[in-house]
Amino acid sequence: MARAMFSALFTAGMLAIGCAAGNEAATPRAASTQGAVRLPEGARLVDLTYPFDGKTIYWPTAATGFVLNQVHHGPTEAGFFYAANDFCAPEHGGTHLDAPIHFAEGKSTAEAVPMSRLVGPAAVVDVSTAAARDVDYRVTRADIEAFEREHGAIAPGTIVLIRTGWGSRWPDRKRYLGDDRPGDASNLHFPGIGEDAARALVARKVASVGIDTASIDNGPSRDFIAHRVLLGADIPAFENVASLDALPARGALVFALPMKIRGGSGGPLRIIAVLPP
């Protein structure tokens, strides 16, 4: 039964991406095209992506943020409306992918990350209570094991999403990063994933790992051990994931589709979840 439901959601979700708007859960309307495939009745889409704009948070040492330059917006000489823009942005900022090559020589670049690591069932590990007590909290192996005792084992191919509660701070740069001095990443404070938890996730052969903070390593990290362990195992990471409070611990199907940048170490990510009825 569970496999059949997952298969149905997988097929329907692949054909229904784009039905949700904004960062809110949405129930897709019936398709008007004859023969179109629809999500199961009552299923919902949740957008887990922050918009890219002038408020998008990037790592403090990034040379620029997100820049959108208007090329044209208005009537053409022929009389019809036309809009087009140029944009420029670093790879790592806003809701984005860390491709394994980001911290692991010889591992997958952005365009080479297999689709099997970008689409899969989600396990949402909630450490928000611990993070509220310690802004520099690091997820532990014990947190992973506690989740499994309550919700069942994390199977290979699962997309593990870490909910720290930091999404409530977006886009307040100082509250989100712990410091808002441009060019200085020496005094950041936010939760991340500890080494023992990262190794536990590698042992479980997860597809990928996401978090609702600016990095899978906590703010004060200098050795970026979570990056080195996870990306070193060719497991990609998703950072600045939005709206994790809208997802259950189990049951969501996640689609994480990054910009396919050849040779990229990461890039902007559109990530959504399909929630069953």
Q: Would you please indicate which residues are annotated as catalytic (active-site) residues?
A: 102
Taking alpha carbons only, the member of 253, 273, 263, 243 closest to residue 110 is 263
Q: CA of 25: how far to CAs of 99, 166, 274, in Å?
A: 27, 19, 9
Asked whether the beta carbons of 144 and 158 are under 8 A apart, the reply is: no
d(CA 230, CA 209): 8
Burial track 18-37 (b if 16+ CB lie within 10 A, e otherwise): ebbeebeeeebeeeeeeeee
Q: CA of 57: how far to CAs of 95, 172, 249, in Å?
A: 9, 9, 27
